[in-house]
Chains A and B, each alone.
Chain A
């Protein structure tokens, strides 16, 4: 009994859950590709405004937006808690990349179809077609 209890007690003090702090989600490169699209525009502000309007139309409430950092975050409570963060930045001289990353509860959304739906809506809002990253 003592043999079982001692390792258990030691393990209890190890704070395994803290190791999530700097851990990247699994299959990071593939995830980044499905979360990112490139648009043929240089107008970051217009892109960010289109992201905000798209998220609102999808039922999200905007939590934060920062033009200087090119970041928008939003939350939706319907059908469980979903949080999304979108980052907009210059991609070369003539394009802009948009990356959306969503969490359903505490789990990263890894379904490519979900991100396809997001970018389909965003493309409509921007009147531009999206390119996948190479």
Chain B
């Protein structure tokens, strides 16, 4: 029974068991910093930074985000959206454990997804856009169950593909 419950909990969280890396201090340069910058950034051949920022804002709006903060002078736009975080697998496991033990096992219920866009001029003829995504997930007990950066390359590819269409400009790697 214990083995079953442990397995179920592992499945519920989709946990990948790896050796924990040594903790870095708050401001240590992460080893993958340069690779991340490349993944999260694209360069557009325009000098109009406000146009790029506006297009990013319009795109985020199309994707259901609501602007939280913006500063055109610094090229910053932060937006978020609240969505359901319910996953059928987690509910099934929670129901299974409840059936056998009677325990009220929480499962993920809602999430706040956040996008942070920063633009900056690169040389005299182009603007670089860097986007980052995060989410916070709350479970059915109202507790935060996950805080994570959403860092899959396909998220960035899709975002910049849509931004290129909106700007009618081709995106270049930085």
Contact = CB atoms under 8 A, between A and B. Distances in A.
Partners in one complex: yes
A120 B123 CA distance: 24
Interface string A52-95: 11001111011111111000100111111110100000000000
B14 interface: no
A45 B121 CA distance: 13
A72 to B, nearest CB: 8
A118 B69 contact: no
Contacts, number: 88
Nearest to A52: B118
Nearest to A50: B120
A102 interface: yes
Contacts of A117: 25, 27-29
Contacts of A59: 30, 33, 36, 149
B74 A52 contact: yes
Interface in A75-134: 75-82, 84, 102, 104, 109, 111, 113-115, 117-118, 121
Nearest to A109: B26
Given A61-B132, A63-B69, A64-B78, A113 B25 contact: yes
What bracket does the count of chain A residues touching chain B fall in? 35 or more
Given A45-B74, A52-B76, A77-B148, A65 B26 contact: no
B23 interface: yes
Interface of A is mostly: mixed
Nearest to A77: B147
Interface of B: 23-30, 33, 36-37, 40, 68-69, 71, 73-76, 78, 114, 116, 118, 120, 130, 132, 134, 147-149
24 contacts: A49-B120, A52-B74, A56-B37, A56-B118, A57-B33, A58-B29, A58-B33, A61-B134, A63-B78, A65-B71, A66-B74, A67-B73, A67-B74, A75-B134, A77-B134, A77-B148, A78-B30, A82-B26, A104-B26, A109-B26, A111-B25, A117-B25, A117-B28, A117-B29
